[in-house]
Amino acid sequence: MTQVFADAVATARAAVAGAVASPRRASELAGAIRELESLARYVHSVQGELIAEAERHEVARAHGARNTGVWLQDVLRVDPGQARGRVEVAVSSAASEARRALAEGAISVEHAQVIASCVKRLPAHAAGEAPRVETVLVQRARRCRPRDLRRLANGINAGYDRRAAASEEDAQHESRELHYVTTGDGSVVVKARLDKEVGRKFIAALRPLSKPCPAHDGTPDPRTPAQRHADGLATLVDLALGSEGMPRVGGQRVQVQVTVGYDDLVRSLDSDAEGVLPGMFADGEPISVDAVRRLACDAGILPVVLGSDGVALDYGREERTAPPQLRAALFRRDGICAFPGCEHPPGTSQAHHVVEWFNGGETNPGNMVMLCAFHHRTVHSDHWNIVIEEGRTLFTPPRRIDPDQTPRPGGTARPSDHLRLVRELVPRPRQPEPAT
């Protein structure tokens, strides 16, 4: 028997190799890939029949293995989950329709595993519904990916067994965890496992904050998806720290303190200045003075500015941050972010001082502009020049970005302009003719 299968496989290999070696057009690649996938699925269905036969004859036990799944791990060199899934499909008494669809190449072995698992998890009172459930899942599997089919299967199981679904969600909640550690360079590594409810909330909150931000000229966002997600999480933290709903500690709002020398803060305005000492977080971790200047614009961070004698000259003047009425005015003028071409979602802006706050810049509309966290960092790090003229913001890029340094208008929220245009376009209603 082994030789029969070996000869059949050798013949199939030779046939496939010959087909692959033959000339083909690019337009034929998709069809060829589909045909090979259909063949692979057929092979999986045949393999499933042999696995079921091995289960019936207790071949695993004869080889000293605990069960067929463990035996397959060694025979096929696959992970435990894959081995268990193949056995589940092979031995499932209700998966005959799924196996036929697998043999046809209409569904994958992953689809078949989802179907077999769903049927197996049906409660005793719903055992008679197994054929109908399998039919529905096979029909759906022909048109969707295994991940989508798994969601449908989970919904079916939850519908038939409410207690089991609730118990599974409780188990997810019990397994929740979040770990964070500060590394040697001061960065923080976060690892978390969230239950489905909290996880969906997290995704819903993070997704709009981490979408790509292409440049005004259409240049794609240079950040990787992972970097965008990290920036989105940073914005979430800023929103939480700025929320009135945050718990208070000792009667005070949650604060992050940074201590910095005033002379260093002023000297840092010169990008070529040497010997500029960093600021310090409360735990002694250093942070560059350039970052302190950016944070001091409108973040939930209080800079403790020290004189040459080490005495605090200022402890986070309240006027440093834009009060609600000023932020509302800036939103009307600049939109969520005034940077040219930015379409960042609402509620995430930071009020940037054009003339640095510590350098005498005032907290008023003539010296402030709304920027999202990403473009706030861009303005500081790339040294964009911002001018506010007649209520409009103009952004001038550095020479490395634009050698001509052509000013670019900023701001996307122009309700007053829109209202003026509407008034100009829509004729006023005529006064009624006097009655005669």
- Dihedral pair phi/psi, residue 353, rounded to 5°: -85, 120
Please tell me which residue, 347 or 434, carries the higher pLDDT value.
434
| pLDDT above 90: percentage of residues in the chain | 16
Please tell me which residue, 337 or 305, carries the higher pLDDT value.
337
CA-CA distance, 314 to 303, in Å (whole number)? 8
pTM, two decimal places? 0.58
Query: β-pairing, 256-261 with 301-306?
Result: parallel
pLDDT at residue 328, as a whole number: 67
Nearest of 268, 244, 262, 258 to residue 301 by alpha carbon: 258
Mean of pLDDT values over 113-122: 90
pLDDT at residue 306, as a whole number: 53
Q: What angle do CA 36, 40, 43 make, to 5 degrees?
A: 140
If pLDDT is split at 50, 70 and 90, which confidence band does 308 have?
low
pLDDT at residue 423, as a whole number: 55
Query: β-pairing, 368-372 with 385-389?
Result: unpaired
Query: β-pairing, 177-182 with 368-372?
Result: unpaired
- Using the CB atoms, write b or e for 332-343: b if 16+ within 10 Å: ebbbbbbbbbbe
Mean of pLDDT values over 415-427: 53
CA-CA distance, 5 to 49, in Å (whole number)? 14
Which residues are within 8 A (CB) of 257 and not within 5 positions of it... i.e. 6 or more apart?
281, 282, 301, 302, 304
CA-CA distance, 126 to 162, in Å (whole number)? 12
CA-CA distance, 119 to 128, in Å (whole number)? 11
Q: Is 70 exceeded by the pLDDT of residue 429?
A: no
Please tell me which residue, 216 or 245, carries the higher pLDDT value.
245
Residue 223 in 3-state DSSP? coil
* Highest mean pLDDT (candidates 50-59, 330-339, 375-384, 388-397): 50-59
Please tell me which residue, 360 or 46, carries the higher pLDDT value.
46
pLDDT at residue 392, as a whole number: 80
Give the chain's mean pLDDT: 80
CA-CA distance, 126 to 203, in Å (whole number)? 35
Alpha-carbon dihedral angle through residues 128, 129, 130, 131, given to the nearest 10 degrees: 100
| pLDDT above 70: percentage of residues in the chain | 80
Q: How confident is the model over 222-266, as pLDDT tens digits? A: 889 999 999 889 888 888 877 777 776 545 566 677 777 777 777
pLDDT at residue 72, as a whole number: 92
